[in-house]
Every structure is written in structure tokens, then in C-alpha cells.
Amino acid sequence: MTVRYRPELNAISPYQPGKPIADVQRELGLERVIKLASNENPLGFSPRVREAVLQALEQANFYPDGNATLLKEKIAEKYGVAPEMVLPTCGSDEMVDLIAKTFIEPGSQVIMAEVTFPRYQITSLMMGADLQIVPMKDLGYDLGGFKEVLTPQTRLVWLCNPNNPTGSFFTRGELLDLLESVSPETLVVYDEAYYEFATHPEYPRDSIELVQKYPNMLVLRTLSKAYGLAGLRLGFTIGHPALLGLINRIRNPFNVTSLTQAAALAALDDEEFLARTVTNNNAGKEYLYGQLERLGLPYGKTEANHIMFDSRRDGQAVFQALLRRGVIIRPVGVPRYSTWLRVSIGTAEENRVFIQALEEVLAELAPLS
């Protein structure tokens, strides 16, 4: 193949999504497969969504509202900001991409953590960033390490709190310290995909208020995790209207479907479903902590809906052996953490099936010395 392409692509490998259940059923001839690989909501989604989507379907011959006016207003009201400070996207994935396209140019200095959401790396490299990767400290973000590589020229800093896949978090004090350390010309992207799950008292619950004080900060949220709507693709970003205005120039005009807008309007109101989700997550977290301890496996404490643990075996081999037993999780896939995997917290039953399969796999595969 001789067609020429952008040389930036040579440094990029495709994103590896969690394996779909149907693939594993087909490939391995398994009937019962559980997926704890993509941090999806094991309780489904709010029952209010179905009716809203069916109603919106009746209008599917029309283009969606490209400005998502009602949804912006709903989000603005819920979080106490002006509608001009809200921008919905096709998942926060799309926003990560749009941010990279809007703010990064070849040679821009961009900072991210070693073990975090892989899309930051792919999109930064795509735009030709000079990417600085800060190693983890005790499985968490080392914001002191971020400060050491920051310069007044730094274009963008990617932060994920609570972090995927480690589940770790940094405190409000640490966040404020970093925000004070960056130049007002540096964009701070603050991805809170797991915000709703965080329970630690030092977790910064008021990030959206911080946007008023730090206009160089964007807060990213999603309905894919706690709200259980990963398949409908809705993320939203809160930030200074001037930043959102730049991003808006390159956004696809109909990036959020009418079905998704209707679903989100219904889902955002259902506090009861959200509370049930968080309660299930907290119970699953305690169960999995106890079981990982019983099995003698190190793990990271989590503020999210997933736990990263050290299998003390090759992570790929553990992943494959679990697949054969109908349990899909995810190896972390970062060289320094080749024995670590991430499991999403499921229902009580799914967690139990996972632990039973893991115990069998640990007996089958000898630990690395």
C-alpha cells in the first residue's frame, strides 16, 4: 500500500476496547459470560430512559437539535452553571478528541500520567504533541512529578480523578495546588468519568465550582458509567464559554443523537437509580477487597467502579484463562504493570463468579518468581 499518511500515526496503536460478550460466547462456545471489562453499570440504567427514547424515536426522521438546547439547560440547572458553560458530546471520548484537535499542535508540550485513560495518549500523539509521561507513585497520580515537568509553555495537562484504571484519587488540596502552579495559558483537562462513585471525604466534590475560578480548566463528565448509558454515548463538559466556543467550531453539528438527548434528559433526573448504583458499588468494593486479600493479591483502593489488582502472573495469561471460564476483565497493558489487571465492580453475583474463576486461574497458573 503506497498511499501516504500522517507520520504521527506510526507512534499510535489502535485502542483495545473490552471484549464484547457475544464475541466471547461465539469464540469459546460459552453460554454464560459475564463482562467486568469496561466499567459499565451492572444494574442497567434508569427505567425512565426507555419511555423517553421510544418517544424520541417517533421524531427520528428529523435531525437532532444540534445545539442540544434542552439538555444544556438541564445540565446547567443541575450543576449551577450557565448553559453557555456546557457542551454535550458523543461520549466524553469525543471531547478528548476535540480537545486534542483544538488545543494541541505539533511540538506542544502535553503532560499525562503513566497509567491512565489511554485516549489521552492516542489523541495527543495524533496531533504531534511532545508528550511527557509522569510515572505513578504508589498506584496514584504524582502531581508533584507533574509540577516538576510543567513549564510556562506547557500547552495541556490531562488529569483523571478518580483515575482509570488504578481507581486512585487525588485530594482537593492537591488539585488546587496544581491549578495554582500551572500558567493561566495552560489548559487543564479534568476528567471525572467516575465522579459519582467517589466517597472519600478529601475528594474534590466541587470541581465544577472551581471552573469559575480557573477559566483554564475543563471538567469532563459522562453518562456512560454511573448512569449506565454507555451504549447511547453522552458526555458533557463544563468550562469557560470561550474555551467551549473554540471547540464548538470543529464539532460535528449533530454529534449527539436525538435519542441520546432524550435519554440523558430522563436519566439525569433519576437520583434514586444513581443512589442504588453507588450502594451496589460500595458493597461490591468491600467484598472484592476482602476476597483479594484472602487470595493474597495486592490491589489499589478505589474511588471508582473498578479495582486494579496484581495477579502476580502474566496479565495476558490471566485474562485469557478467565475468558475461557466466561469472565471478561482487562489486563492493564502498561509495561511496568504487566501482572496487573482491572476488574469492574459488578452485581454481588457477578463479583462472586469472578472471584471463583480467579481462584481457579490462580491455581492453574504458577506465580512469577
Ligand X SMILES: *Cc1c(COP(=O)(O)O)cnc(C)c1O
**Residue with smaller CB distance to ligand X, 116 or 291:** 116
- Binding residues among 211-250 for ligand X as defined by CB under 6 A: 222, 224, 230, 235
Q: What are phi and psi of 197, to 5 degrees?
A: -90, -15
Q: Are 133 and 112 in contact (CB under 8 A)?
A: yes
Q: Distance between CA atoms of 232 and 106, rounded to whole angstroms? A: 33
**Residue with smaller CB distance to ligand X, 113 or 323:** 113
120 binds ligand X (CB under 6 A): no
160 binds ligand X (CB under 6 A): yes
Q: What are phi and psi of 91, to 5 degrees?
A: 75, 160
117 binds ligand X (CB under 6 A): yes
Of 85-93, 147-155, 247-255, 336-344, the segment contacting ligand X by CB under 6 A is 85-93
- Binding residues among 331-360 for ligand X as defined by CB under 6 A: none
Nearest approach, Cβ of residue 221 and ligand X (Å)? 8
Q: Distance between CA atoms of 185 and 92, rounded to whole angstroms? A: 23
Q: Distance between CA atoms of 164 and 193, rounded to whole angstroms? A: 9
Nearest approach, Cβ of residue 32 and ligand X (Å)? 25
- Binding residues among 167-196 for ligand X as defined by CB under 6 A: 191, 193
The CA-atom distances, in angstroms, between 78 and each of 11, 72, 81, 186, 208 are: 41, 10, 8, 28, 11
C-alpha cell at position 254: 449533530
**Residue with smaller CB distance to ligand X, 93 or 114:** 93
How many chain residues are in contact with ligand X, going by CB under 6 A? 13
**Residue with smaller CB distance to ligand X, 85 or 115:** 115
Residues across the chain: 369
Q: Distance between CA atoms of 266 and 56, rounded to whole angstroms? A: 11
Q: What is the dihedral of CA 86, 221, 178, 202, to 10 degrees?
A: 120
277 binds ligand X (CB under 6 A): no
91 binds ligand X (CB under 6 A): yes
* Terminal Cα-to-Cα distance of the chain (whole angstroms): 45
Of 29-37, 87-95, 204-212, 346-354, the segment contacting ligand X by CB under 6 A is 87-95
| Kind plus residue range of the DSSP H or E element containing 37 | none
Query: Looking at this protein, which amino acid is placed at residue 64?
Result: P
**Residue with smaller CB distance to ligand X, 134 or 160:** 160
Q: Distance between CA atoms of 96 and 87, rounded to whole angstroms? A: 12
**Residue with smaller CB distance to ligand X, 121 or 222:** 222
Max Cα distance, the chain (Å):
61
Nearest approach, Cβ of residue 222 and ligand X (Å)? 3
Residue nearest to ligand X (CB): 91
Nearest approach, Cβ of residue 117 and ligand X (Å)? 4
93 binds ligand X (CB under 6 A): yes
**Residue with smaller CB distance to ligand X, 263 or 355:** 263
**Residue with smaller CB distance to ligand X, 332 or 362:** 332
Q: 3-state DSSP helix/strand/coil percent for the chain, to nearest 5?
A: 45, 15, 45
Q: Which residues bind ligand X (CB under 6 A)?
A: 39, 91-93, 117, 160, 164, 191, 193, 222, 224, 230, 235
